Each structure stands twice: as C-alpha cells, then as structure tokens.
Structure 1
C-alpha cells in the first residue's frame, strides 16, 4: 500500500523548511527524498488549506474575465478531449482573435459533465506561480501547474500515466482516485502512456494499489509512470496538479552525447568522407566508435545541462513601469535585489541567467557575487553604475517589488 499520513492540519516545520515540508507532505526533505521521491505514492491527509493558491472563484475569474486563449484551457469528457473549436470564439470589437475562451460554451459543456482543465497556471495565476517557483527551487526540477474542475459524478480522463511526477492538491469537493502500479516504470518524456495503451487498460482492471477519496486539504504524490484515474463524487471537484518535470540520467546522457558530437565537428578525420566503394559502415564503425568514446570521456556536459535547465523555466515577473521608475530614480540609497527564479550562475567573469548573459570586469565581480544570495542591498554598496546596468538588463529589481 502507499504511505499515508493523517492528522496534519497544522504541520510543524523546522526553521528554514520549504513548501515540500510545510504544505505538501509533513515529512522532512530528507525523509521524502529517502523514502518517497520517485519510488511510491504518498497520501497526506489534511495537509492544509489551499484556498490561498486557487479556488472555484479563481477558476471563474480566469474563464469569464481574463480573456484566456488556448492552450491555457482544454476540455475533457469520458476520456476524450473536446475540439478547441467547440469552446472558443472571437471576443467582439477590438478582441477578434478566434481562439479566446467562450464562457457560454464552457458553461454548457461543464453542465453536460465535461472537466475544465486550466493549464499552465504558473503563467496566469500569481499565487500558483509563486508557489510553483518555490517548490521548483526546493526540488531542483521544473514545475508546471494545472487545475482540474470536474462536475459531480464525472470524470475527464481514463486511466493513464504521466511522464512527470505530480502533487495533487484537493482544493474543493471530493474526488475518488484509483492508482495502479506502473506498466512502464519511470517513463521518459517521449514515452507517453498511449505507447502502452493495451497494457494500461489491462492493468487498470486489476486490484488498485490505492483506492481513496481525496477531500479538501488532502495531497497525493504520484511518481511518473503510476497509473491513475479520478472521478468527482457528490459535488464539484477542484484540484490543483503540480507537475514535476524531472531531470533524468538519460537527460544527462543526452547532454554528454551533444557535447561529444559538438567536439567531433572539429575533428578533421571525423569530417572526412568514407572511402569510395564502401558497402555499409562495417569497415569504419569500430574506429568511429573509438573516437566517439574518447569524445564522450572528455566532454563537459555541465554548460549544456544548465542551459537546458534555464530554458525550462521563466524568471519572476518584471513590471516595465516599476523597472523604469527604478532606473530613473537610481541613487546610492536605492534598495535592489536579484530578480527571483533567474537561475543565475557566475562562471568566471560571465553571469548567465534566464534573460541572457553579461560579462564583468574583475573589479565588479565581488559585487556581482554578493548579489547572488538574493538579499536586498543599497545600490551604493555595490556601485551605482553596476546596479544601473543590471537593472536595465532585467537582472536586478527594486527590493520592494
């Protein structure tokens, strides 16, 4: 059976504990990493109140008033996804883009038993975005957030598995979850459940590893590959899914291979043409393999890994008007700090971030290094000219923002 914790209405946490401990599991980060992470499901009863993150009212706000477009929402019913054309339309004068959400069409679909899936909430709903950024920073893996709004006695999707880990936070209502063991453990991102459709369907008919009803405040963690299906019970169910897009050893191998192949482009022998009349690679493959192994042995995949990792996330929001005001009003007493979620790394004299890179003089490097701890500092402590450059680059922000 899965691990289950109950009675966690007021989860205690050690000083400095992150959201994993304080809001999702009640376990220390060390306990979660050792016993649960990527191994087995974890059901945490009454983990807390998540209404500060999302709610039924938030769903209505996004659908009816924010002018969302696809793919920020999809609609599913009885295992099938509805065509976007059935719930989108132009929004009238000055907003004639055809793929905006049609709230009337969505109401009719919802009343008919369809599940509304608000996707990528880390981009459209600030509390979820901030929470996801904190969890991502703690786990070291990118986090995406979707909300699932399901009418009573309805289900959106058949049994399936995800290619990423998930934390399911039950916001409102109740939902019954059936969880089965994997048919393809630890699937990669290019190995969706549809590649094993028959095996998934067969396994879903067997005895469930976990058959439970999530109530408001419960949290369910599922590693990638675990089969699951869920159905709302007596009322509307709203739950938030935090998808953890885990980095794998295979991903590191991809980075090593890319770095090795990049190095081999500079090898004249590897660029040379195969001899005339060669029938297949048999006469050359062993030597090519030796060159490839040597290149992999020497390859440094770290720069590619960090570049790919930066590319999978976004920095904290930046207000252009507040930023301009900070630049115009910059003085020695102006408080500034590093913009959050930049994935900033100082490599020699170069600072690489999600918004680009900057090179610095030896004289500026100590101040740049100090900024990486994220603490607020007066511009005069760092150098007003340096701070101005970093504000214009979107690397620093006013400390009050």
Structure 2
C-alpha cells in the first residue's frame, strides 16, 4: 500500500523565518511566531497573492455571492441583505454582491471579509495547494480589508491554526494566551466570552504592528484582536484545519457500534438519575469498551481518518476541455504527471487487481498495471511511451483513463 499526494513543497519559507524542523518542534500548535518582511522576502512579499486592485476585481466583476463575502461592523456580522441583491437580466440570482452597497458600507467603517479565496483567486489557489501539501492539512484563505483606524472583530480565538499575511497597510495586533488550550471546533470562543474579555484586559503576550510583507503564525486558541493604523489594511488569513486526538476518539466510538455489548440497552426500569445505578452500568460499559479497544487495528482508524480528511482538501484545478482534447490526441510521446495535490492510495487486492483510491473515486486495474501506476503517480513528468507496460496500446489506454478521471494532467 502507498498513500501520497503530489505537489512540490515550496510555500512554507514564504511565511516563517525559522527552519521547518524548528517551526514544527517549537511553534506548531504551541507558540506564536512573528516573521518580518525583511527576513522572508521584503515589503512586497504577498502582493503577488492579492492586492487592493484584485479586491476591486472580485467585488465588482466576478459575480461574487454570499457566503464568499461577509461584512462586519462594530464587531458584528451584517445580514447579507445589506449588500447583496439580484444579478440583473440573465443572472436571476438574489444574493450577488452589489458593489455600490459594499462601497458605502466600507466608507462607513465596515470591514470586508472575502472568504474561500483558495477556491476563487488563481494565485491563492496555487499558494494554498503548495502550503497545504507541505503541512499535509486542508487550508482555507480569507482576506480582511479594514478601513483606516478601524477594528473588524473584538478579541476572540479561532479553533484552527492561522497564518496572518499582511499585504497592504499596517495593523496593530494584541495577542494573549489561551483561556482554553487547543479548543475543538465545537468549543468556539463565544461560549467563553467572559473569560476572553477578562484575559484581554491583561498584559498581552505579543503586542505588535504588522507591516506589508510581515507574517504571524497563531496556534488555535490564542486570543487576538487587530486594528488598522492610519490607512486601510489588507491582510490574508490562512486557516489550517487540524486533526486531533479527539478525532481518533470519535472514529473509535463509531467503530465501537460493531460490539453488541456496547449496543445493549440498559436494564428495564433503569433510573438515569440514580448515581449508584449509573455507577454499575458505567463500570460494565467501561470494561466492555476496554476489552473491545484491544481488538482495533490501526488500519481501520487510518482508513476512517482518510475518508474524513481527504475530501476537505481539493487537488489543483484542471481545465476540463483542454484535458479531454489532450487525452483524445494522446500519443506515446505525450508527457504526463500526477495531478498536483492529489491524495491517492494504491492497494494490491487478492483477486489479481490493484485499486487506486482518491478523494473523488476508486479505480480498479489489472495487477500488471501496478508498476506503471506507481511510476506515473510519483509526482515527476513521464513520457507515456516509457511506462512499464507490454505495448503502446496498453500505455495509451491506461493514461487516457487516468486523464479522464482527473488523476493525471499534461506535464
């Protein structure tokens, strides 16, 4: 069995000043990291990813709809009806962004939050693919455009790690330690608003102004608030979806449904308010669970975690028409490579076949295709005629199928 994904890892040095090993050991999930522009590429470090001109393009000419835009004012998210409406003749959609309404709200001090840019804006699609592969985690990228001397959100924490990338303007950040270390997604800051507010009154762990090209890493749970300085501020937030030990527990409990002892009903007349009655059943349940846990195979959990995490991260985009044209005209001299960012797993079966698993589908091939599959999926560029199969006819059949299934792309 082989499990992998394909894309060169080159994005992390753009956002951290320390070596990846040091980042993993000292900062990942533990401590914030401030990286100054001078050490990671200079003050224009992120303008290739987004700019004010790009924001104007998205807001006015791309038919943007909710929820790809949120608008926040005085710490509250405004209803979408305040800045969306119909798209006009031929685009009868009721929630398209109205650029003149957005302009008015921004001029009145509202912060604009462009969401899901890793699915919308080509430079960020590419950047998210590279960084996500390097971290081996799904990413989301939002942009925050804040008017001069304004604050979009009050002190809060996120339930995922983030990189903050300052693109234009300056922003003053106050960072405080967590009130709840490593919060899960279901443990949002609103349930601890009083603790958050009280902690925010204390001495910050980090009090810093981000300038263009600066980057800030924040583990989940760290409290933060930010205010634009004299001019408008544009920054990107890269959200990193974590995988926790609690996820292992959730998958274990799902598998535990297979044990009849754990599916058994509690006794007739059981009183759930009686501590003594609960104690007896709890003891038996824990004993049954402990016994069942010794039977669990790591491969079972790995398979469930794969099905949980793979769909959260999409591979690199493909051009459907160009892809089909390339497949139709394919010749032995054609060059192909694995689709960048594609997660895949290759299993040898007992019936003389190999199975290729990917997030979108499962494909089965004769086992003599295994060497060719492993070669063509290794992330390098390959000439079709060089694949280890019997003849060019077999090579073309295999590669055409992988192209039309979105597994390979032209090199």
Give me the TM-score of the superposition, normalised by structure 1: 0.90
Match of 1:182 among 173, 178, 183: 178
1:381-392 equivalent positions in 2, closer than 5 A = 381-382=386-387, 383-392=395-404
Match of 2:308 in 1: 308
Comparing 240-249 with 100-109, which one deviates more in the overlay? Answer: 240-249
Task: Give the drift of 1:125.
Answer: 0.6
2:151 is aligned with 1:155 = yes
Task: Give the drift of 1:211.
Answer: 1.2
Task: Give the drift of 1:274.
Answer: 5.9
Q: Distance in 1 between matches of 2:185 and 2:262?
A: 31
Superposed CA offset, 1:50-98 (max 9, x none): 1111111111111111001000010011111111000001111011201
SS of the equivalent of 1:18 reads coil
Task: Give the drift of 1:287.
Answer: 4.2
Distance 1:290 1:234, change over 3 A: same
Q: Distance in 2 between matches of 1:347 and 1:119?
A: 37
Match of 1:395 in 2: 407
2:23 is aligned with 1:32 = yes
Which segments of 5 or more consecutive residues in structure 2 lack a partner in the other structure? Answer: 1-7, 349-353, 388-394
Q: Distance in 2 between matches of 1:339 and 1:17?
A: 14
Match of 2:10 among 9, 18, 43: 18
Q: Distance in 2 between matches of 1:275 and 1:315?
A: 51
Q: Distance in 2 between matches of 1:225 and 1:245?
A: 13
CA contact (8 A) 2:137 2:313 kept: no
Task: Give the drift of 1:371.
Answer: 2.3
Match of 1:5 in 2: none
Distance 1:203 1:285, change over 3 A: closer
Q: Distance in 2 between matches of 1:81 and 1:276?
A: 50
CA contact (8 A) 2:9 2:131 kept: no
Match of 1:373 in 2: 378
Match of 1:351 in 2: 356
Q: Distance in 1 between matches of 2:138 and 2:159?
A: 13
2:319 is aligned with 1:319 = yes
1:68-107 equivalent positions in 2, closer than 5 A = 68-107=64-103
CA contact (8 A) 1:355 1:395 kept: no
Match of 1:3 in 2: none
Task: Give the drift of 1:27.
Answer: 1.2
Task: Give the drift of 1:342.
Answer: 1.6
Match of 2:365 in 1: 360
Match of 2:293 in 1: 296
SS of the equivalent of 1:364 reads helix
Q: Distance in 2 between matches of 1:149 and 1:285?
A: 53
Q: Number of aligned residue pairs: give it.
A: 379
SS of the equivalent of 2:182 reads coil
Task: Give the drift of 1:212.
Answer: 1.1
Superposed CA offset, 1:180-229 (max 9, x none): 11111110111000010000011111111111111001111111111111
1:89-168 equivalent positions in 2, closer than 5 A = 89-168=85-164
Which segments of 5 or more consecutive residues in structure 1 lack a partner in the other structure? Answer: 1-15
Match of 2:335 in 1: 335
Q: Distance in 2 between matches of 1:54 and 1:180?
A: 28
Task: Give the drift of 1:25.
Answer: 1.0
Match of 1:232 in 2: 228
SS of the equivalent of 1:304 reads helix
Task: Give the drift of 1:253.
Answer: 2.0
SS of the equivalent of 1:32 reads helix
Q: Distance in 2 between matches of 1:297 and 1:270?
A: 14
Match of 1:194 in 2: 190
Task: Give the drift of 1:389.
Answer: 1.4
The structure whose RCO (Cα within 8 Å, separation 6+) is larger is 2
Superposed CA offset, 1:238-293 (max 9, x none): 001111111111112222222332x32xx4x6666666556667565544433333
CA contact (8 A) 1:327 1:392 kept: yes
Distance 1:247 1:276, change over 3 A: closer
Q: Distance in 2 between matches of 1:65 and 1:225?
A: 37
Q: Distance in 1 between matches of 2:160 and 2:119?
A: 19
Give me the TM-score of the superposition, normalised by structure 2: 0.88
Q: Distance in 2 between matches of 1:221 and 1:130?
A: 20
Superposed CA offset, 1:303-334 (max 9, x none): 00011110111121121101110121122112
